[in-house]
Chain A
Amino acid sequence: MAAATLSFEPVRIERDVETVARPSLSYWQDAWIRLKANTRALISLYLVIGLLAFTLFGPLIWRVDPAVQDLDQISVPPGAGRDVTVVNAYTPWQGVTATPLPGEPGRTLAAPAVLAVVGEPTTRAVRLRWEPVPGAASYRVFRNIFDPEPDGALGLPIGDVLNPANVSFEDRLDLKPLTYYYSVVALDGSGAQSDRAAATVAVTRVITAAEAAQKGLIEQASDARPGDVLQLQVHPLGTDYLGRDMLARLMHGARVSLFIGIIAPFAYVMVGILYGSVAGFMAGRADQILMRFADFVVALPFLLFMILFRILFNVQPGDDGIYPMMVAMILLGWPAAARLVRGQILQIREEGYIGASRLLGAKTNYLVLRHMIPNTMGVILVTLTFAVPSAIFTEAFLSFIGMGVAPPTPSWGSMCNEGLKTMLTTPHELIAPAALISVTVLAFNLLGDGLRDALDARMRSTE
């Protein structure tokens, strides 16, 4: 009915004629997209997050005190057997005596006849007895973990029995649940050895009920009776040379490493930004003076200053050297960042938009904070991510040479130092901390690499 009147209507003003089809990207969003496309950087990012979680939340889940020494499981590799048999308390052994038999002069000594084990061979004690040898002045007991045959390598001289009336020996030295090859030889007055009597002994690991209760393997001592088989504490990554849990130590060690590794670079990069931007902005003579001072600081030897700071801070022996280490890093680490930032600022202050801003009456503060520093952000972030691994490495190195943490506080560097001594026999003590240092340093480096690509403004402009 009123269709005709509707044939005309005002043309709507279309404002969004030139709609941008894709959403507008800020600098950071763009950088993030680019970073996501970089698989290496992304994996590294997850690794870094994982490491932070490992050290911050790990100890909440794995509630083992890193200082507790489990002396029943010293230097055990990951996945070692944990069976332990409950026995009665240890009672001293009087040994076996026999009347020494006179020997015929001029005859070589015979080997002791019969070498027998008295009682059960356990990790607490292996008790041996043998038949007296005519003419023996003393006996010597050897123990080997390899078969002495065929070349007669008797192994460790585990004990001397100087009284020939005594024909027994109790071995308590560092027994492990292994098979041992014992040998006993007789010695005459001049020290000449007889042939050996041999015994092969398979040792079982034991514990008393009271010890088991103390270690928390059972509720109370009455819960287990001799002969029961229990399981010792679990150590997923094994234990170190004093029976301390490697996993717990790695978690706590990471705290020191990452604390230094993140706080110190943050601090010195901040100092560097301030210093560099001031130098860059003032330019000219002031810049010359400031940067020559920075050159001077670069020339100072780090290790020497580290030692000086220890004295200055009055670090008593046995105290942690963490704070002097950090102060030394901050005081000597900033020039690199300062140089980079200064270079950027020198470049930016000549750009047209700065001039425009200045003409519009912008104050120095505004220019620096609004225009200059944000535009150097990429450089700063990249410097930071490269500074982190080098700081972690410095901490590890200083702890390795004993200038870092004090025992029993672990750090990856000091753990490497300890593990190194037993590298051949128990490699897990070295491999775990060394691998963590390597992975962390690599992850931070690759992440830094990725960030540099992602934040590079020039790559953005080629889009």
Chain B
Amino acid sequence: MSDAAESTSPVAAPRLDVSALLQLLCIGGLGVAVLAVILWVLAQWNEGGAGEAVDLATGTVTLTLAQEPPQMDSTRGTDQVSFRILGHVMEGLLRYDENDGLVGAMAERWRIDDQSATFWLRPNARWSNGEPVTAHDFVFAWRKVVEPANASQYAFILYGIRNAEAVNNGEMPVEALAVRASDDRTLEVEFARPVPYFDKLTAFATYNPINQAFYESTDGRYGADADELLYNGPFVISRWVHGASLRLEKNPAYWDADRIQLNAIDHAYITTDANAVLNLFKDDKVALAALNAENLEDALQQRWEINRFSTGSVYFLELNHRPERLTSNYHLRKALQAVNDPAELVYKIIKLPGNLPGNSLFPVWLKGVHGHFRQEHPAPAHTPDEAQGRRYLARALDELGLEELPPLVMLTGDSPSANKQSEYYQNVFKQKLGIDVKIDRQIFKQRLEKMTAGDFDLVAAGWGPDYDDPMTFADLFASWNENNRGRYSNPALDAQVDIARSSSDARTRMGAMAEVQQMLYDDAVILVQYESGSVYVAHPRVQGLVRRVVGTDPDYTNAWIAPLGAG
């Protein structure tokens, strides 16, 4: 009799029946809808923030930057982002034009022979505060570069000038640098040895002038902010919100202001996220987007016109040669080199057209005596050989007196492609040699700091050309070069670099650099990865964009916006 009551005991918990499920779905659906509306409203509200990719009326092009320029003091800058901005706001004695020819910038004419060079400056060259650009500004800036206290990593690029090396080493006072302003408009330079490519050097950012009075008025903060800089180039930095945006506007005081057609270049976004940049491009918010392996298919689907160019840079794993590091062991380096397979890296991991498997520090586009350097002096042949690598490793362990190698530290950047490549190498070294690798991901600034301090075993590094001569790569691993982060030091290599930079005979110079190429391979100084290229999509209405191997890239100083329908 109490059976009926039993079945409705309070133990019966709520069951998940159909109506409950429907209810759940309804509530869930409603929640999603409300969220979507809120997001949409927020997106609409945000719309006003940044403009369109190109704006004909105001002559503005909107772009992205990979990161905030770390060093806008031209005597101390070392990275591509800083050089890209410097190339738009500053001008040296000479510059590269839209066809990559050298033309006069601050200098209106010049003369270079084996012993000396003279530059005559333009009378109408002015700083953005209206003061004229004088030869004294160059003397001041160049002395600053070699001044030991300034610790410029690019000081070596001035070593062609007499006494520069001694001044930089603190053996002579800065006044001894053989650069003289004979009057306000004449700059005279004496060489330590013939520098046949000196005209190309003067187009490089480290050779830019600096106004002494202004530099001293900034009290050590020169280049740290938009108003801590004085400009003599086509544009000025009008607004710099650190970490967020950087806006360039046309410089009315620029001597050749008629040539500049854009009124403003707005770097409205600072991000390394390639997908975010591509989405901005898709939404017509930015005028240029580099593609990566992950979004290539997306770009194909959009049926965009895809462009490519070679950046001229070479990427490599640099080994640490400081004696306290394991990688200072020759056989360990050879073991790592033996399992390095650049072709696999490029074709299967990076997967971007434009990149070439690297065989040598000297990229294929460099000019030699007559043709290309690499045709005259082929790179050392390299075939990945796992068994050979293991033999080298066994010898290395023997020499080091170790049973097993402690983990090596590989310093890399924090971009997705750097992650992918470092994980690929981690696996290659583990699977083929049994070496454990720890990946140390750092942001750009931090990575540079750790590279300089030598806090790594391997570091993913790259080198872009500073001027159009194989020399820009050849002296990278000379013992005196500050950019030689692994502190590789080999008197034989130094001797060849010395021959290459002091001889005026092209054949001797190229021969010496071919020796350098061979030594870098034989001694496994670096593991060459690839010569980099880039594929990108550009706004069809932005005309006159110049992409370069050497010099400012991308260069918008000659760009203009085509009217609608004409592009």
Using a CB–CB distance below 8 Å, which chain A residues touch chain B? 33-34, 37-41, 67-69, 71, 74, 143-146, 151, 153-160, 172-174, 241-242, 316-319, 402, 406-408, 418, 421-422, 424-425, 450, 453-454, 459, 462-463
Contacts and interface: CB of A to CB of B under 8 A. Distances in A.
A20 B301 CA distance: 75
29 contacts: A34-B11, A34-B13, A38-B13, A39-B16, A40-B16, A41-B13, A67-B427, A69-B431, A71-B344, A74-B348, A143-B353, A146-B301, A153-B304, A156-B300, A157-B307, A158-B353, A173-B351, A174-B347, A242-B424, A317-B409, A317-B439, A317-B440, A317-B442, A318-B409, A318-B410, A318-B439, A318-B440, A408-B426, A425-B295
Contacts of B407: 318
Contacts of B426: 407-408
B184 interface: no
Contacts of A463: 9-11
Of B300, B346, B407, most A-chain CB atoms within 10 Å: B300
Interface string B278-317: 0000000000000001111110110111111000000000
Contact of B275 (A145, A154, A421): A421
B353 A157 contact: yes
Given A34-B11, A317-B441, A425-B298, 14 more contacts: A69-B427, A145-B297, A153-B303, A155-B306, A157-B308, A172-B347, A173-B347, A173-B353, A174-B347, A174-B351, A316-B409, A317-B438, A425-B295, A425-B297
A145 B301 CA distance: 9
B343 interface: yes
Q: For chain A, what secondary structure do more than half of its interface residues adopt (helix, strand, loop), or is it mixed? A: loop
Given A74-B348, A156-B300, A318-B407, A37 B420 contact: no
Contact of B300 (A33, A144, A241, A418): A144
Contacts of B242: none
A242 B420 contact: yes
A156 B306 CA distance: 6
Q: For chain B, what secondary structure do more than half of its interface residues adopt (helix, strand, loop), or is it mixed? A: mixed
Contacts of B409: 316-318
B438 A157 contact: no
B326 interface: no
A463 B12 CA distance: 11
Given A317-B440, A318-B409, A425-B294, A407 B301 contact: no
Nearest to A171: B353
A39 B348 contact: no
Contacts of A34: 11, 13
Contacts of B301: 146
B49 interface: no
Nearest to B427: A69
B438 A316 contact: yes
Contacts of B332: none
Interface in B532-564: 535
Contacts of B410: 318
Interface size class of B (residues with CB under 8 A): 35 or more
A242 B420 CA distance: 8
Nearest to A172: B347
Contacts of B9: 463
Of A41, A173, A425, A450, most B-chain CB atoms within 10 Å: A173
Nearest to B439: A318
B87 to A, nearest CB: 23
A272 B290 CA distance: 52
B305 A153 contact: yes
A408 B344 CA distance: 19
A172 B426 CA distance: 24
Interface string B435-449: 001111110000000
Nearest to A67: B427
Contacts of B424: 69, 242
Contacts of B439: 317-318, 406-407
Contacts of A408: 423, 426-427
Contacts of A158: 353
A242 B427 contact: yes
Q: 4 tightest A-B contacts by CB? A: A318-B438, A317-B440, A153-B303, A174-B351
Contacts of A153: 300, 303-305
B221 interface: no
A462 B9 CA distance: 10
B170 interface: no
A41 B15 CA distance: 10
B349 interface: yes
Contact of A38 (B14, B430, B438, B441): B14
B515 to A, nearest CB: 26
Contacts of A144: 300
Contacts of A317: 409, 438-442
A422 B294 contact: yes
A419 to B, nearest CB: 11
A449 to B, nearest CB: 10
A253 to B, nearest CB: 15
Interface in B403-461: 407, 409-410, 416, 419-420, 422-424, 426-427, 430-431, 437-442
B298 to A, nearest CB: 6
